[in-house]
Amino acid sequence: MSRIHHLCVRGILIALIVLELTSGCASPPTIERAGVEYDRAVTNVIIEQLLLNIARQRHHHPIHFTVVSNVAATFDFRMNAGIGHRLLEEPGLHLVPILGGTIAENPTISIVPVEGEEFTKRLLTPMDETKFYFLARQGVDLSVLLRLLARDFWTEGIEGEQVFVNSPREKSQYEEFRRRVLHLEALRVASKLYAEPLVFEKTWEMPLNSPEAFQALEKGYQVTHNVKGGTYLLRKQVTGRVVITNYDPSLLSNEIRYHLNQEANKYSTNQVLVDIRPGYPGGDYPFHGGFRLRSFNAILAFIARGIDEEVEFAVEPDPRTGPTLQNPAKSLEILETERRPAGQAFGVKYKDWFYSLKDAAVEDKAAARWNLDSFRVLYQLFQMTVTDVSKTLVPGITIAK
């Protein structure tokens, strides 16, 4: 009896060791796979929503977005162990460990409609210059960025303000808009373009007995005592508005940078000032003005109209413009087909039509890569409009699997 007891204890210990090893190995890979799959699912939801809303705009239907505000997944790992015996012809007690286990996943996904003030801020408000700057700093092709993001280019001359709209409906204006964009892109390719916030030093005087002078010390100002004048001279480095130039703004005098920033401040933050001067690279095609940026809703409408109503066309660069990498006719080509096309990267069905993008593995790889890059910029712009969805007053939808 003692031998049987010893064998039972030994069998249980073996089963527990195996249980500990298997449970420790099973849970982390399972959680890791689930995290990747949730990430992939949420990304696909956003991609399909973008295509779906382009299709809605194509048919002049209202757009609508929802966002996944929260994914909570509970993992229940259960393992059980025991011992049994089997009957064999050989005499003696033959113990066999019995192991079992279950893994249960209980995800809860919260989806919030983008409505009300959230809809206005994210989709109807024009993009500001910081979004343009952040993407430009990542090395995004300016032709892709500006052809999607800019509503028009304006310039002031002797005859007053001229506007070149980014719409093929206005053929001559659209051609001039495209030429300006191509010129900037050529400068970027040649590493001769600057798209940076202006940095300058701001100074002003205050009387010696002014309490603001002492408060300025705490706010990072440099204070110089002017004995003869009986004043304090305050200095502070200021980061101003974004300006696109064909020269390094830091080489300009502080006064010129200050006045250039003052000019930029006359315009709203959805405008980006452009100053292409003679005497610098690309200066034989000089222009001074700015791009007005669209809202995200206007970007979707522009892409949707380009499917059939206002199809973009090829525009050759100005003779004074240097080489660029690509210059396709369409900013972003969305295929509209009756059947699901082969070789699609992304696609969605709407009103018995399929709306899709070609994969980069198709024959015209350069055009497909341009489209995918352009769609990636569209995706990033949508992500950059994200606000705190937890504060929305619109009731959300919770889906428990």
Q: Answer yes or no: do 92 and 68 share one domain.
A: yes
Per-residue pLDDT for 118 more than 90? no
pLDDT tens across 337-364, in order? 999 988 889 999 999 999 999 887 776 7
Q: Answer yes or no: is 393 within a domain.
A: no
Q: Answer yes or no: do 153 and 50 share one domain.
A: no
| b/e per residue 301-320 (b: at least 16 CB within 10 A) | bbbbbbbeeeebeebebeee
pLDDT tens across 198-251, in order? 999 887 776 655 666 556 555 666 666 665 566 777 778 889 999 999 999 999
Q: Answer yes or no: do 152 and 8 share one domain.
A: no
- pLDDT for 111: 72
Q: Answer yes or no: is 123 within a domain.
A: no
Q: Answer yes or no: do 178 and 245 share one domain.
A: yes
- Report d(CA 5, CA 8) in Å as an integer: 5
- pLDDT for 395: 45
pLDDT tens across 157-204, in order? 767 789 999 999 999 999 999 999 999 999 999 999 999 999 998 877
User: Are 123 and 65 spatial neighbours (Cβ–Cβ below 8 Å)?
Assistant: yes
Highest mean pLDDT (candidates 7-11, 54-58, 382-386) = 54-58
Per-residue pLDDT for 36 more than 90? no
Q: Answer yes or no: do 84 and 134 share one domain.
A: no
Q: Answer yes or no: do 180 and 50 share one domain.
A: no
Domain that holds residue 301: 128-328
Instruction: Please identify, among 280, 311, 328, the residue that sits at the C-terminal boundary of a domain.
Output: 328
Q: Answer yes or no: do 255 and 156 share one domain.
A: yes
Q: Answer yes or no: do 18 and 90 share one domain.
A: yes
Q: How many domains is the chain built from? A: 3
Q: Answer yes or no: is 392 within a domain.
A: no
Q: Answer yes or no: is 197 within a domain.
A: yes
Instruction: Please identify, among 282, 303, 328, the residue that sits at the C-terminal boundary of a domain.
Output: 328
Q: Answer yes or no: do 45 and 193 share one domain.
A: no
pTM of the full predicted structure? 0.78
Q: Answer yes or no: do 172 and 62 share one domain.
A: no
Instruction: Please identify, among 113, 143, 174, the residue that sits at the C-terminal boundary of a domain.
Output: 113
Q: Answer yes or no: do 277 and 360 share one domain.
A: no
Q: Answer yes or no: do 146 and 230 share one domain.
A: yes
pLDDT tens across 269-302, in order? 999 999 999 999 999 999 999 999 999 999 999 9
Residue 233: exposure state from Cβ atoms within 10 A (0-12, 13-18, ≥19) = middle
Q: Comparing C-alpha atoms, which of 136, 163, 132 is closest to residue 299?
A: 132
Residue whose structure tokens are 């064998």: 7
Per-residue pLDDT for 390 more than 60? no
Higher pLDDT, 49 or 224: 49
